[in-house]
Amino acid sequence: MAKEDFSGLEETLGVTFQNVDTLRQALVHRSYLNEHPDFPLGHNERLEFLGDAVLELVVTENLYNNYPNPEGEMTNWRAALVNSEMLAKLCHQLDIEGFLHLSKGEAKDSNSKARKYILANAFEAIIGAIYLDAGWDGAKKFITERVLSELPEILEKQLYIDPKSRFQEAAQEHLGITPSYKVLTETGPDHAKDFEVGVFLGKEKIASGVGTSKHEAQVAAAEAGIALKGW
């Protein structure tokens, strides 16, 4: 059952809504309405559409005004700030999950890839709700405090470069070796396979990762390898 007292969430977001139903709608997943057709509000996809545009413009404006770097570099930085992994992480940090209106099936499936996208979309919908309720300045303040605050770490750790490329560059720099990847296990039916992939330096397995595709598992293995090596 989703929480309905939004005062604590408003405090966490740093926004007091004039119309709290705007915030409530941002937390309604389409699946919930299939089970509750009499619910008085719509789902959050239109707010997500709006919030996505506001988020991208605020981030783009900030990068343009504060960094003299070429367009290609800033595009990569922006992608690292607004991708689904980052937005789902930020949504989780704000403890928003308990407020989401989900179907019973979606509510149970808390660790799925689908949940990550639901959280990321909810974060964008919240931005859309803040924009409607508090205007451009309110949305900009929220994005600056919650999203753009992640930029220093992204730049310091070069998180805008994909993990496989970062691991390869570090392995070549430190050891003169190019990593290789090998599928260790495949489980599940053809339409819903899970892969475990190992990343190797020479014959030594450094780490492994799992994912619903070989590429996703390779990326997870590379991230684990970077962490284990301290690179």
Q: For residue range 7-55, what is the model confidence (pLDDT) as tens digits?
A: 999 999 999 999 999 999 999 999 999 999 999 999 999 999 999 999 9
The amino acid at 134: A
Of 149, 148, 164, nearest to 231 (Cα)? 164
- Is residue 190 annotated as a catalytic residue, yes or no? no
Buried b (16+ CB within 10 A) or exposed e, 15-53: bebeebebbbbbbbbbbbbeeeeeeeeebbeebbebbbe
Q: In whole numbers, what is the pLDDT of the chain averaged over residues?
A: 93
Q: Higher-confidence residue: 28 or 1?
A: 28
* Phi, psi (rounded to 5 degrees) for 161: -95, 135
Q: Catalytic pick from 48, 106, 124, 133?
A: 124
Residue 112 pLDDT > 80: no
Domains of the chain by start residue, with CATH: 7-156 (1.10.1520.10), 163-229 (3.30.160.20)
How many helices (H) does the chain have, and how many strands (E)? Answer: 11, 3
Q: Catalytic pick from 52, 97, 133, 223?
A: 52
- Is residue 173 annotated as a catalytic residue, yes or no? no
pTM above 0.95, yes or no: no
Residue 126 pLDDT > 70: yes
123, containing H or E segment:
helix 113-146
